[in-house]
Amino acid sequence: MADFVWNADALLSSGVGAFIGSALTLAGAWLAHSLEKQESARKDAEHLLGLLQAIHDEIETLWESYLATAGAQIEALRDGNPMLMYWPLTQDYFTIYNTNAFFIGKIKDHDLRKQIVATYAKARGLIDSYRMNNDLLQKWEYAHLLFQESQSELHKANAQARYQSLIQYASSLKKSHTELKSMVSELLRRLRKEGVLSPDGATKS
């Protein structure tokens, strides 16, 4: 009987020990998983902040460069005049945006995410518009050259029609420029409010 009691106590002690060991193992696994999730979230937050900083710098740099060239010309252009300037466009300017499309989709702030996408889309549209203006300008110059060489009324009418197309298109360019200017200003303001200019990402008022 004594042996039975001792065996029962040993079994109970062993069971309690096994239960405690299992509980500690589960607790340790849960803690490790929790810490891993926290670390992953921290890294994601750091990456997204870095992405927002990079987007801010890309937009700001490209906009300043644009304003120093074609942007200054279009702002100085008077209504009713054509944009008689070639703006060479030979590359993809949106490196940060294009290589981080997946991560942009992970930005939690819906309005900010939508604003980023809309601003880049508007910028692409304006670039396409300048390409079209380059094409219209080239066609007008060729038509005007033919008229000067031939003094033909037919070539004169063609050159005048090309010139009027440039005037009409310049109005569209100015409108797109003004709209993008407003969007860029608002996006940069919003990104700075998110703390992109602060080393620790602190929100600025």
Which three-class secondary structure string do you get for 98-165? HHCHHHHCCCCCHHHHHHHHHHHHHHHHHHHHHHHHHHHHHHHHHHHHHHHHHCCHHHHHHHHHHHHH
Residues 161-182: what's their mean pLDDT?
Answer: 97
Q: Which two tokens stand for residue 80?
A: 């009713």
User: In the predicted model, is pLDDT for residue 177 greater than 80?
Assistant: yes
Instruction: Give percent of the chain with pLDDT exceeding 90.
Output: 62
Reported as a single tens digit per residue, the pLDDT across 118-164 is 999 999 999 999 999 999 999 999 999 999 999 999 999 999 999 99
Reported as a single tens digit per residue, the pLDDT across 59-103 is 999 999 999 999 999 999 999 999 999 998 877 789 999 999 888
Q: What is d(CA 204, CA 169) in angstroms, rounded to the nearest whole number?
A: 40
User: In the predicted model, is pLDDT for residue 42 greater than 60?
Assistant: no
Packing angle of the helix pair 153-193, 110-150 (nearest 10 deg): 160
Per domain, the residue ranges of the chain are: 43-193
User: In the predicted model, is pLDDT for residue 33 greater than 50?
Assistant: no
What is the rounded average pLDDT for all residues in the chain? 84
Q: Which two tokens stand for residue 93?
A: 């300017």
pTM (2 d.p.): 0.76
Contact predicate 114/161, CB 8 Å: no
Please tell me the predicted confidence (pLDDT) of residue 20.
73
User: In the predicted model, is pLDDT for residue 201 greater than 60?
Assistant: no
